[in-house]
């Protein structure tokens, strides 16, 4: 072979187009679909847009944005040693690509998911739940979706760690889903993250039929008494007491709850407004970008295009539906016990999709009775759901981690 022929062969071998597989093409279409949904219908655009476009990039051959596998087989004892893992991967798979660095250093190490919780805490007002503590029970009841989906996944043949990662989708909390899946079943991270964020954006479509099926027109019309004012002292004490008690009872939930409550303390203290604002805006924007790009980088044809992915997407619906039903059913029980003073629809807001679920409940209440305002009552179980999902993740991590 002449030098010219060798040069031509080398050129052709370096054409990504000639290495494109059917799987790559399918995943590129999947990524572009997520981008389309984010732009055209504004479905969780802050995350589906970076997830979708990074999914496109990692399925373009020879781009070297990813060189390391999502879930490598590591020698025993190395799983919890980040630096040993990085050295092993570098030795066996070569230098990391850009997305490998984002995934392994920022997401796999839990830095980004925990910082997301810090920002969420700074953005969350726990006042409605403090004003009416019993609504926290509705946030707990909605966690039934986690365990219904978990058991269903086990019956379908998923491992227990995978089933727990799938089940947590029912909490409607994307960062918690990513946090738990990264620790228990990183091989299905792309599927669980896409399911969690896609279905969160579809809450206005998923929840109303379930709520209507479980409540009567008269129940949906129930008006609730105005919530009492919550003092500044109560709002300051709440994050301190909550993270202390939960960390003592469920230590594995301490990272999530701790970061959530630290962010909330920044918000409620009133003395670090600059830090609170930075957590809500600049920091939240930066870590959201890294979260989306890192999750999208796991959506590679060889690991994403499996029958398991379809099953996970289906189980996501089961998780969301059963979580909504669990909250509404406990809401009906509380309605009976209160003598008709609690609108059972607020139980549907027990999932962690803040404030989307609460707004769905308010819209349905207004449709039945234009003068019925229960948004703040629904926000109680809504923010309680964030805590409930974090605790559920901690329990699953303690048992399976």
> Mind listing the pLDDT tens digit for each residue in 133-153?
998 999 999 999 999 999 999
Query: Higher model confidence: residue 78 or residue 314?
Result: 314
40: phi then psi, degrees, rounded to nearest 5: -75, -45
CB 135 within 8 A of CB 381: yes
Residue 64 inside a domain? The answer is: no
What pLDDT, on the 0 to 100 scale, is given for residue 378?
95
Average pLDDT over every residue of 370-380: 95
pLDDT band at 1 (very low <50, low <70, confident <90, very high): low
What pLDDT, on the 0 to 100 scale, is given for residue 82?
81
pLDDT over 70 (residue 294): yes
Residue 63 inside a domain? The answer is: no
Q: Which two tokens stand for residue 171?
A: 């909490």
CB 392 within 8 A of CB 168: yes
What pLDDT, on the 0 to 100 scale, is given for residue 78?
79
What pLDDT, on the 0 to 100 scale, is given for residue 184?
93
Average pLDDT over every residue of 30-57: 93
What pLDDT, on the 0 to 100 scale, is given for residue 5?
65
- The range of the structural domain enclosing residue 335 comes to 108-400
Residue 219 inside a domain? The answer is: yes
Q: What percent of the chain has pLDDT over 90?
A: 76
pLDDT tens for 175-199 read: 999 999 999 999 999 899 888 888 8
pLDDT over 70 (residue 289): yes
Residue 234 inside a domain? The answer is: yes
pLDDT tens for 207-258 read: 999 999 999 999 999 999 999 999 999 999 999 999 999 999 999 999 999 9
What pLDDT, on the 0 to 100 scale, is given for residue 16?
66
Q: How far apart are CA 135 and CA 344, in angstroms?
A: 11
Residue 343, CA atoms < 13 Å, CB-side half-sphere: 33
What pLDDT, on the 0 to 100 scale, is given for residue 77?
76
Residue 299 inside a domain? The answer is: yes
pLDDT over 90 (residue 336): yes
Residue 177 inside a domain? The answer is: yes
Residue 29 inside a domain? The answer is: no
Query: Higher model confidence: residue 271 or residue 83?
Result: 271
Q: How many Cβ atoms are within 10 Å of 244's Cβ, its own excluded? A: 14
Angle at 125 between CA 392 and CA 278, to 5 degrees: 100
pLDDT over 70 (residue 394): yes
Give me the helix-helix angle, 111-123 and 284-296, nearest 10°. 140
What pLDDT, on the 0 to 100 scale, is given for residue 120?
95
Average pLDDT over every residue of 354-362: 91
Q: How many Cβ atoms are within 10 Å of 8's Cβ, its own excluded? A: 12
pLDDT band at 172 (very low <50, low <70, confident <90, very high): confident
pLDDT band at 91 (very low <50, low <70, confident <90, very high): very high
The whole model's pTM is what? 0.91
Average pLDDT over every residue of 105-113: 91
pLDDT over 70 (residue 23): yes
373's CB contacts (< 8 A; 6+ apart) are 362, 365, 366
Let me know if 203 is exposed, middle or buried by CB neighbors in 10 A (0-12, 13-18, 19+): buried
Residue 356 inside a domain? The answer is: yes
Quote the mean pLDDT of the chain: 92
How many domains does the structure of the chain reveal?
1
What pLDDT, on the 0 to 100 scale, is given for residue 26?
95
Query: For the chain, what is the HEC assignment?
Result: CCHHHHHHHHHHHCCHHHHCCHHHHHHHHHHHHHHHHHHHCCCCHHHHHHHHHHHHHHCCCCCCCCCCCCCCCCCCCCCCCHHHHHHHHHHHHCCCCHHHHHHHHHHCCCHHHHHHHHHHHHHCCCHHHHHCHHHHHHHHHCCHHHHHHHHHHHHCCCCHHHHHHHHHHHHCCHHHHHHHHHHHCHHHHHHHHHHHHHHHHCHHHHHHHHHHHHCCHHHHCCCCCCCCCCCHHHHHHHHHHHHHHHHHHCHHHHHHHHHHHHHHHHHHHCCCHHHHHHHHHHHHHHHHHHHHHHHHCCCCHHHHCCHHHHHHHHHHHHHHHHHHHHHHHHHHHHHHHCCCCCCHHHHHHHCCCCCHHHHHHHHHHHHHCCCCCCHHHHHHHHHHHHHHHHHHHHHHHHHHC
């Amino acid at each position: 072979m002449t030098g010219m022929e060798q040069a031509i062969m080398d050129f052709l071998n370096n054409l990504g187009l000639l290495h494109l597989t059917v799987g790559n093409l399918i995943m590129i279409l999947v990524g572009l679909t997520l981008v389309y949904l984010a732009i055209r219908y504004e479905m969780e655009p802050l995350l589906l847009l970076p997830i979708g476009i990074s999914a496109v990039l990692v399925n373009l051959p020879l781009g070297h944005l990813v060189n390391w596998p999502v879930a490598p087989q590591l020698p025993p004892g190395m799983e919890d040693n980040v630096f040993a893992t990085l050295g092993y991967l570098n030795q066996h798979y070569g230098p990391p690509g850009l997305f490998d660095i984002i995934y392994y250093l920022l997401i796999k190490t839990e830095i980004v998911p925990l910082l997301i919780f810090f920002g969420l805490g700074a953005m969350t007002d726990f006042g409605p739940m403090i004003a009416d503590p019993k609504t926290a029970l509705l946030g707990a009841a909605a966690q039934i979706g986690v365990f219904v989906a978990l058991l269903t996944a086990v019956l379908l043949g998923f491992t227990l760690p995978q089933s727990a990662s799938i089940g947590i989708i029912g909490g409607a909390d994307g960062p918690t889903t990513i946090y738990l899946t990264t620790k228990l079943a990183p091989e299905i991270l792309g599927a669980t993250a896409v399911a969690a964020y896609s279905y969160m954006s579809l809450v206005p479509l998923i929840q109303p039929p379930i709520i209507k099926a479980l409540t009567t027109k008269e129940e949906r019309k129930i008006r609730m008494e105005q919530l009492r004012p919550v003092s500044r002292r109560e709002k300051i004490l709440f994050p301190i007491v909550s993270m202390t008690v939960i960390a003592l009872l469920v230590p594995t939930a301490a990272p999530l709850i701790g970061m959530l409550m630290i962010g909330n303390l920044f918000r409620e203290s009133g003395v670090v407004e600059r830090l609170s604002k930075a957590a809500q805006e600049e920091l939240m924007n930066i870590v959201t970008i890294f979260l989306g790009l890192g999750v999208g980088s796991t959506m590679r044809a060889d690991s994403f295009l499996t029958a398991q992915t379809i099953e996970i997407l289906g189980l996501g619906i089961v998780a969301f539906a059963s979580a909504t039903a669990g909250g509404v059913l406990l809401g009906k029980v509380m309605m009976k016990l209160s003598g008709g003073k609690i609108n059972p629809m607020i139980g549907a807001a027990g999932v962690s999709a803040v404030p989307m679920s609460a707004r769905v409940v308010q819209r349905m209440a207004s449709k039945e009775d234009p003068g019925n305002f229960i948004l703040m009552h629904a926000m109680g179980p809504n923010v309680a759901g964030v805590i409930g999902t974090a605790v559920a993740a901690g329990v699953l991590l303690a048992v399976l981690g």
